[in-house]
Amino acid sequence: MKLFNITFILAFISVLGLNAQQMPAEKQSEAVSIVGATAHIGNGEVIEKSLIIFEDGKITKVSDASAAASQAKGMIINAEGKHVYPGFIAPNASLGLVEIDAVKATDDEDEIGEMLPHIRSLIAYNAESQVTETMRPNGVLMGQIAPRGGFISGTSSIVQFDAWNWEDAAIKTDDGLHINWPNSVRRGRWWMGEDPGVKPSKEYQDEINKLKSFFAEAKAYLAGDQKDNNLPYLAMKDVFNKNKTVYIHVDGEKEMLDVIAFKKDENLDNLVLVGAYDALNITDQLKENNIPVLTGRPHSLPNQDGDDYDLPYKLAAELTKKGVLVGIEGSGDMERMNSRNLPFYAGTAVAFGLDKEEALKLITSNTAKILGIDDFAGTLEEGKDATLFISEGDALDMRTNKLTDAFIQGRKISLETRQTKLWKRYMQKYERQEASK
């Protein structure tokens, strides 16, 4: 029996080894020059024939190739006819926290309890997730890993997708606190004999008061002697010191107005709305209070019967046109697998009237500003991390988003995944069938 167990364990480890993530790339050892590509800077600027040089993981030159081609050095990549982009950023993602939804042992996205500001998603992040690996062939090279569940879910951190472990992956730790705002309405619980229709929630104000009480108790605790080492209260220190952004997950118009009032009452300078389904109704208030928005997944159905049929599709575009700082997040059903569609979410904004370079900002510079990493990420500019990729065509169009090269902090990463291996395998099958006819 013991021999059988040992054999089984060895076989299991062998299978894991065969299916493990690609080995993280070696540190950049020489300068890299990308010559001739159309450079989409990420701030609205485009350089038709560009020269981009990066050394030691940092971009050192971005210019017109026709005027500076002789300055190319190190490994030269001829990218004429191709496009180069800054790496796309997936905010409010649970990548690396769950591998297989149906296997509970691989699910570490939430914890038991309501007020959990001390829970850190970063230490649960699995840098070797095969799901996370599938983001890279579409240009999604960074993500904000956020917890789920509870009233206060915990803190998120921002990672890059080429690492041995969470320590190596982290590029900004504990960037923000995530709060799930209560709903002012709820559906009747038919199993308790209630009318199944939508009705005002009697618990709504009580739940807001509970959140306010927690904030007040945390402030009082931090102002005292703190002898009992209360971890949830201690975790609120950076929120009150304005060193941590508060991300409030909320959709309804009334709820968002209550969030704005809460922001003022608690003197929260750095606050972001996540989801914000009804945000078009309060754009003036959002701009007045300098509140950015991470809109929900565009490829969704309307929430309510009276909504425009295309509201989710056009939300990011319309908010941008009205002057709100907008990024796109992709939480919801099968969110981890669908996160690789981030560039096509931005492409949907183009289909609904947004300029292509403005749409690119939704997943690059805008998101970097919202997450507080725009000093080193989000655009192709000198001094920033060389986290970028080369595509054969328009990266916001699924027909032409075909990466040939990708780099994270200057390291040339592999674009192979289980999915690309399967694609190549079955392409060979059909090619053989065609050849045999």
Task: Say whether both 321 and 395 belong to one domain.
Answer: no
Which pLDDT score is estimated for 13? 43
Q: Which of 403, 379, 406, 400 is nearest to 391 (CA)?
A: 403
Task: Say whether both 256 and 364 belong to one domain.
Answer: yes
Name the token pair of 44.
Answer: 């609205």
Classify residue 258: in a domain, yes or no.
Answer: yes
Contacts of 358 (CB under 8 A, 6+ apart): 44, 320, 349
Answer with the one of 341, 362, 377 that is the final residue of a domain: 377
Residue range 47-100, pLDDT digits in tens: 999 999 999 999 999 999 887 767 889 999 999 999 999 999 999 999 999 988
Name the token pair of 131.
Answer: 């799901």
Q: Which of 350, 340, 415 is nearest to 90 (CA)?
A: 340
Higher pLDDT, 69 or 336: 336
Q: Which of 373, 368, 335, 393 is nearest to 101 (CA)?
A: 335
Task: Say whether both 392 and 436 belong to one domain.
Answer: yes
89 burial type by CB count under 10 A (0-12 exposed, 13-18 middle, 19+ buried): buried
Classify residue 238: in a domain, yes or no.
Answer: yes
Classify residue 143: in a domain, yes or no.
Answer: no
Q: Tell me the sheet residues that pair with 328.
A: 295
Is the pLDDT at 28 greater than 80? The verdict is yes
Residue range 342-386, pLDDT digits in tens: 999 999 999 999 999 999 999 999 999 999 999 999 999 999 999
Task: Say whether both 230 and 258 belong to one domain.
Answer: yes
Residue range 301-322, pLDDT digits in tens: 998 888 999 999 999 999 999 9
Is the pLDDT at 21 greater than 80? The verdict is no
Q: Tell me the sheet residues that pair with 83.
A: 38, 391
- d(CA 239, CA 269) in angstroms, rounded, equals 10
Task: Say whether both 219 and 233 belong to one domain.
Answer: yes
Name the token pair of 280.
Answer: 């078009």
The rounded mean pLDDT for the chain is 91
Answer with the one of 361, 377, 393 that is the final residue of a domain: 377
Classify residue 277: in a domain, yes or no.
Answer: yes
Name the token pair of 125.
Answer: 């992040």
Task: Say whether both 265 and 357 belong to one domain.
Answer: yes
The domain containing residue 112 runs over which residues?
A: 104-119+173-377
Confidence of residue 2 (pLDDT cuts 50, 70, 90): low
Task: Say whether both 435 and 319 belong to one domain.
Answer: no
Classify residue 260: in a domain, yes or no.
Answer: yes
Confidence of residue 435 (pLDDT cuts 50, 70, 90): confident
Overall number of domains in the chain:
2
Task: Say whether both 266 and 360 belong to one domain.
Answer: yes
Answer with the one of 358, 377, 396 that is the final residue of a domain: 377
374-378, long-range: CB within 8 Å, 24+ apart, which pairs? 376/171, 377/86, 377/87, 377/89, 377/142, 377/171, 378/42, 378/86, 378/89
- d(CA 286, CA 122) in angstroms, rounded, equals 30
Report, as an integer, the average pLDDT of 11-35.
Answer: 71
Q: Which of 175, 174, 180 is nearest to 114 (CA)?
A: 180
Which pLDDT score is estimated for 17? 43
Which one-letter DSSP state was computed for residue 201? -
Which pLDDT score is estimated for 20? 52
Classify residue 197: in a domain, yes or no.
Answer: yes
Q: Give residue 313's Cα distance to chain centre.
A: 18
Task: Say whether both 263 and 411 belong to one domain.
Answer: no
Is the pLDDT at 102 greater than 90? The verdict is no
Task: Say whether both 325 and 414 belong to one domain.
Answer: no
CATH number, domain containing residue 57:
2.30.40.10
Sequence-ordered strand ranges (E) for 205-337: 245-250, 271-275, 293-295, 326-328
Classify residue 392: in a domain, yes or no.
Answer: yes
Q: Which of 214, 298, 284, 219 is nearest to 256 (CA)?
A: 284
Task: Say whether both 113 and 224 belong to one domain.
Answer: yes
Question: Dihedral (C-alpha) 252, 256, 262, 267: value to the nearest 10 degrees?
Answer: 150
Confidence of residue 172 (pLDDT cuts 50, 70, 90): very high
Is the pLDDT at 126 greater than 50? The verdict is yes
CATH number, domain containing residue 222:
3.20.20.140
Task: Say whether both 288 and 435 belong to one domain.
Answer: no
Name the token pair of 119.
Answer: 């829970």
pLDDT above 90 covers a percentage of the chain that reads: 75
Is the pLDDT at 420 greater than 60? The verdict is yes
Classify residue 93: in a domain, yes or no.
Answer: no
Which pLDDT score is estimated for 14? 43
Report, as an integer, the average pLDDT of 393-422.
Answer: 93
pLDDT above 70 covers a percentage of the chain that reads: 95
151 three-class SS = coil
Q: Tokens 């730790």 belong to which residue?
A: 173
Cβ atoms within 10 Å, residue 238: 17
